[in-house]
Amino acid sequence: MLRILDARTGEPVPAAPARRGLTRIATHASGLDPTALRVMLTADLLVRALELGGTPVWTILTAPRDQPELRTAATHLAIRPFEDDRDLASGLGEAQVIHVARGEERAERAEDPALTARSAGGPTGDSVPGARGEAPLAAVAPVEWAGPQPSLPVLLADPAALRLALLSVPRHRPARLDGDALARAAGQLADWRRAMAGWARQPSRPVPEPVRARLRAAWENDLDVPGVLNVLRDVASAPDLTDGARFETYAYADRLLALDLAHDLGNPA
């Protein structure tokens, strides 16, 4: 079961409801900047991880300004679309609400009637384990740059590399990026895509259960995506795995990562 560290209590809480029902991810992005994109990326990962576990998810976005540009930038990063907070409807039968925001950004938003579980017909935060009267908060550390920060169009010139660079840092830690970090991410991405194109030429084999278990254990542990990436590195060099199993493992993990790892399939070697 996916568990998320609640920044309000410091305790892990289930991200999926105890009873059958959907989870609403309330995402709070404060403006058009890389940190806001990292918040939205974290929400996107949470959605994908919950869906892989069979939990239905509904996501909303609260952003006071620059919403069209922010949504466009998020689309470039392969972040799934969000509903707008003013489109909230009642009677959805929710059983869980999780807020995703920068750092300690919790606040009035969680107390806003439009954002509480009560307004949607679900339980109040008092019934969410460890929430102390409020829905759990998944806090996201900011993006920091070594030197002048590039403009978003420059950063999004290679959106998959930027996504991988952000995924490589635990969400609780500041993502300190620079041109070298983006170049390393682009190089890693190119290597994995080239490897997948080669593995695809061999007969397919199932994802080995121990490998699948390692992947799920990583992302279900507070969205430990760096742990998922480490599993992929191990799989690439494991001597006892067939190329077909490597391919299916990477394809399975990419359902969470959304890095388009199969991008080079069919390209000449």
What is the 8-class DSSP label of residue 221?
A: B
Q: Answer yes or no: is pLDDT of 16 > 50.
A: yes
Give the model confidence (pLDDT) of 231-244 as tens digits.
Answer: 999 999 999 999 99
Report the distance separating Cα 183 and Cα 96, nearest Å. 39
Give the model confidence (pLDDT) of 190-201 as tens digits.
Answer: 999 999 999 999
Give the model confidence (pLDDT) of 68-94 as tens digits.
Answer: 889 999 999 999 999 876 555 444 556
Q: Answer yes or no: is pLDDT of 167 > 90.
A: yes
Q: What is the pLDDT of residue 22?
A: 86
Closest CA to 249 of 223, 229, 221, 225: 229
Report the distance separating Cα 167 and Cα 38, nearest Å. 9
Phi, psi angles (nearest 5°) of residue 51: -65, -35
Amino acid in the structure at residue 22: L
Which position has the higher pLDDT, 128 or 205? 205
Q: Answer yes or no: is pLDDT of 130 > 80.
A: no
| Topology of domain 163-169+179-257, CATH | Four Helix Bundle (Hemerythrin (Met), subunit A) (1.20.120)
Amino acid in the structure at residue 64: P
Q: Of the segments 104-113, 138-147, 253-262, which one has the largest average pLDDT value?
A: 253-262
Reading across the β-sheet that carries 137-140, which strands appear in turn? 83-84, 57-62, 23-28, 96-102, 137-140
What is the 8-class DSSP label of residue 74?
A: H
